[in-house]
Structure 1
């Protein structure tokens, strides 16, 4: 039986917010675009080198996604061209007014560093078709219009200056190119458009030094075979032997990409998520996720064995919304003292969640993440189990605890343990850390948590039975 817990189930416990309350609008945009498709992996090189290429990625755990393009001038999110049906000749005028300030990419990279993110992925070309780099294949780009600067180069250099790994997003779907839709039925248009697409990818992976991630998106309107996706990936690895690629060009890639949900896979996977309702800048969207929500989603990804790619949507000037900055800095502050429970942690530390806890582990250390602090309960007056107050209790810990401490401060934590429950006792009434408190429990071996396992071991007394 697969006991992996879905994101909606976890969030109902961790935040009291239904997942669909924020996910539905964004999911509706790409309802026709499969996000976790996979296919045959045709490159032996890719298979043979994957463990080495992805080692840094598995260690990184947390990255920044950046959705940015002409749509940020309007401020109605990134699908505005199609969702509002704007005539393309009118939309093209936005390029004249897209003139971001110099140094904005440096600001993003520094924000990612403060947030504890280890890699950054920029939308070099989104579905709107506008290229943020100096392309020789189209004049619909930032070096020939608007800012008249190579914004991809500015991004790459800024990320490297902060020690961050560099990722470039590329949408195969293109609403602007004249062959972008007719290629589905017109063989001549398809030949032109596929050659154009391969050429743009070649430019991105030739002109900017080492690129660590190529993040494809949306194969519509062609099949992987029509895109010549195997040839595409062969070119990518020929140009960038150490790169990793996702699964959104129709091939399996190196990792899968669940969107707006934590959906653990047997292979490498990365959840991508927004901080409010949309990916691109939406000037009136104020439905921001809290630092607690972000920390708990990150923890869930790590607990389930994946990575977390969290998005920002800068405005046309390149400024990041103030609430995004506030939340990311709060998350980064938490990671400064609790990072050991995330970066060095392994997945599958638990097959069940507590009422207010989640779990990661590293070696023989079990990290108990307490997101709802179980301060004094009235039941402590009648149940010895809840004393001395306050108690964090975990059922089904499969290892013997040797010591415990608050991860943020190192303060020792008292505990008792029997066959069914580990009780961390005498804790303060107010949570000692925010947005989540982590208790590090040193064990006599690798720890695993599943409170379901205690059922056959629980002593039962027959209270209230008759006969």
Structure 2
């Protein structure tokens, strides 16, 4: 194996990432850490035989990157009693026994192997899931996030037990909305493979999780990579709506990242080194929406700074912002000291002129506008409209 946790963390940091979510156990039930409660783990069921999470936790601490953990707490195909989440055979590859397999899984609560039914979910929860969660929150230092997925059978009492356990050992931890449907909403929502439109925002914190191609893991046949432009503009779009971006990187079997992922991370990092101010610590666009890009904002003590990320550079050297109620103190290209010309007309439209003939950055060029006073934030009070992927 060529797995190098320090390289992973440095690559994430150089791309501009502030936290990492690592899969400790996915639906197959295979633990990538040193667990004492199951033999189905990297320690006992692989030739590698070493804990993957421990060196990553150490590297994150060294580089100042927050560590989060993905843990499939309910769905577990490898440990008896775990939920199996039935899927019809026509969703996968062609199989001559598809009809027989479908009949079996339908009659056995989604399970396709008798051993999966050899224990109850309660036995699995108390014997595997809860003890492993305790191992994760006690053995790896500070854990910033626990990222649950696909709740199927967990009940409210069990969800409360999980919540009390993790808060006991990691009082500052935050969790997503996938522990249990209904009464355990967590700290943030998780739209999957999509960015909510403005009508879907409901006032709750959220994080879009998305792949670089079409695969969460590593698949040699998947060459449908999103361009750096798409990934960067997705990030800016998400920030302009007040969300976070969890960008998936699927490592190869040897523990290295695909070259396509490495290239895109490096290009994202290059943009972030110049323009990260328009992303970090910002909040959603407080002014009217624009058709040439996206707007993020940052509040100081007595003024708001707007960051205009321009996707479609104006050919006439002018940029218009409508509906501004504050006076404008200054405008300039991010990273440059020379001021741009500003003119506010009677309807509140701000005209910025004197722009270069061509865009300074082909993906997104950023203009900084400082307002006199604080811009009033938009109030979002639509109940429960953001969809959260596999939980819905």
TM-score higher than 0.5: yes
Aligned ranges 1:276-287 → 2 under 5 Å: 276-287=213-224
Matched, 1:436 2:336: no
Aligned ranges 1:254-403 → 2 under 5 Å: 254-263=187-196, 264-350=201-287, 352-363=288-299, 364-375=304-315, 389-403=316-330
> For residue 41 of structure 2, what is the aligned residue in structure 1?
141
> For residue 61 of structure 2, what is the aligned residue in structure 1?
160
In the aligned structure 2, how far is the partner of 1:412 from the partner of 1:163?
A: 35
Deviation of 1:184 after TM superposition, in Å, equals 6.2
Aligned ranges 1:106-145 → 2 under 5 Å: 106-144=6-44, 145=46
**3-state SS in 2 of match to 1:337:** helix
In the aligned structure 1, how far is the partner of 2:340 from the partner of 2:143?
A: 45
In the aligned structure 2, how far is the partner of 1:279 from the partner of 1:258?
A: 15
Q: Is the 8 A contact 2:240 2:283 kept in 1?
A: yes
Question: Structure 1 residues 188 and 129, CA, compared in 2 at 3 Å: closer, same or farther?
Answer: closer
In the aligned structure 2, how far is the partner of 1:314 from the partner of 1:411?
A: 44
**3-state SS in 1 of match to 2:148:** strand
Higher helix share: 1
In the aligned structure 1, how far is the partner of 2:376 from the partner of 2:274?
A: 23
Q: Is the 8 A contact 1:115 1:332 kept in 2?
A: yes
Matched, 1:423 2:351: yes
Q: Deviations over 1:402-440 (max 9, x none)?
A: 211000333321122213321111211210124200100
Q: Deviations over 1:22-58 (max 9, x none)?
A: xxxxxxxxxxxxxxxxxxxxxxxxxxxxxxxxxxxxx
- Unaligned residue ranges in structure 1 (runs of 5+): 1-99, 376-388, 451-467
Q: Is the 8 A contact 1:366 1:447 kept in 2?
A: no
Count of residue pairs the alignment pairs up:
334
In the aligned structure 1, how far is the partner of 2:2 from the partner of 2:119?
A: 41
Q: Is the 8 A contact 1:334 1:434 kept in 2?
A: no
> For residue 406 of structure 1, what is the aligned residue in structure 2?
333
Q: Deviations over 1:244-263 (max 9, x none)?
A: 11111111111111112223
Q: Deviations over 1:294-340 (max 9, x none)?
A: 22222222221221111100111111111211112111111112111
In the aligned structure 2, how far is the partner of 1:449 from the partner of 1:358?
A: 16
Q: TM-score, normalized by length of structure 2?
A: 0.80
Question: Structure 1 residues 348 and 370, CA, compared in 2 at 3 Å: closer, same or farther?
Answer: closer
In the aligned structure 1, how far is the partner of 2:257 from the partner of 2:3?
A: 14
Specify which of 155, 158, 162 is matched with residue 232 of structure 1.
162
Q: Deviations over 1:86-144 (max 9, x none)?
A: xxxxxxxxxxxxxx3242x2121011111110000000001111100111111111122
In the aligned structure 2, how far is the partner of 1:184 from the partner of 1:419?
A: 66
In the aligned structure 2, how far is the partner of 1:392 from the partner of 1:237?
A: 49
**3-state SS in 2 of match to 1:301:** helix
> For residue 191 of structure 1, what is the aligned residue in structure 2?
122
Specify which of 129, 142, 145 is matched with residue 213 of structure 1.
145
